[in-house]
Amino acid sequence: MAAENSRDPQGAGLGLRRALMGPLLSMDDDAVDFLELAPENWIGVGGRYGKGLDTLGERFPLVMHGLSLDIGGPDPLDVELLDGIGELVRRFDIPLYSEHLTYCAADGHLYDLLPIPFTEEAVRYVSERIQRVQDHLNMPLVLENASYYAQAHQDLDEASFISAVVGESGCELLLDVNNVYVNSINHRYDPIEFIDALPMDRVRYLHIAGHYDEADDLKVDTHGTDVIEPVWALLDTVYDRLGPVPTLLERDFNFPSLDSLLAEIECIRAAQARSTLSGGA
């Protein structure tokens, strides 16, 4: 596995979206601590977007968060995609590649992130595929706890399934705090108990985002609104357990001004500072 290096994320980061390229290029060097890109959107990209990526990669540490690895699906792993990811890793000295603990293809891409059955058989299947990815890239795969709205089958609860995959595969965990909140409402569980049931020593970094309120008992993970207070409070809970681990603000559409996004970045930094002052681990 790849060793940690000086490009490892620290502090508070923001997603690198093409719609934000201009504002990101104009912001100060200390506005954010790192940027996160979806490799599928940048592999082989040239022109002004490629030049913009080069500039941002020189100014900020980069991490990658993929969309289409399909770690839990029946189709063969996409080796061409992995080769492209490996090229970006080397080009920008990227220390971290994360993906979703989901499937997204079956005889072709489904263009959605769907829940894997929470079973022992799925643990073994997914773990073997994770290990192949890690061997191919020579770095740990970091997997995110996903939001989901229906579960086809489960012999294990969600936290036990995630823990089993992490334990058997040796992967790391991207803890999405908003997904915990959304799932806790939709599936009626205690979010703090869920967090405490996870292998927190394997958490590499965090995501935080906004969501859509379909109803009091149905939340939809959209990344299209501001983070709400209960999610900020849950982030504080995670910092109480882990200390101020790196945290990425996700925003995928309905973009506000850059100043508004950076105000949320400052909220993350303030929560991290509170954790440090209060003696978070």
pLDDT tens, residue by residue, 4-36 = 555 789 999 999 999 999 999 999 999 999 999
**83 three-state secondary structure:** helix
Q: By the 8 A CB rule, do 129 and 77 touch?
A: yes
CB burial of 239-253 (b: ≥16 within 10 Å; e: otherwise) equals: bebbebbbbbbbbee
Q: How confident is the model at residue 2 (pLDDT cuts 50, 70, 90)?
A: very low
Domain boundaries, the chain: 12-277
- Give the integer Cα–Cα distance in Å for 186 and 7: 37
For the chain, what is the largest distance between any 2 Cα atoms, rounded to a whole number of angstroms?
A: 51
pLDDT at 37: 97
Report percent pLDDT > 70 for the chain: 94
CATH class held by domain 12-277 = alpha beta
Q: How confident is the model at residue 157 (pLDDT cuts 50, 70, 90)?
A: very high
Mean of pLDDT over the chain: 91
DSSP letter string, 164-217: HHHHHH--EEEEEHHHHHHHHHHTT--HHHHHHHS-GGGEEEEEE---EEEETT
What's the token pair of residue 158? 């969600």
- Give the integer Cα–Cα distance in Å for 21 and 64: 16
Residue type present at position 239: Y
Question: Higher pLDDT residue, 222 or 71?
Answer: 71
What mean pLDDT is predicted for residues 83-107? Answer: 91
Question: Higher pLDDT residue, 63 or 281?
Answer: 63
CB burial of 110-142 (b: ≥16 within 10 Å; e: otherwise) equals: eeebbbbbbbeebbebbbebbebbbeebebbbb
Q: Given a cut of 90, is residue 276 above it in pLDDT?
A: no
pLDDT at 105: 62
CB atoms within 10 A of CB 91: 12
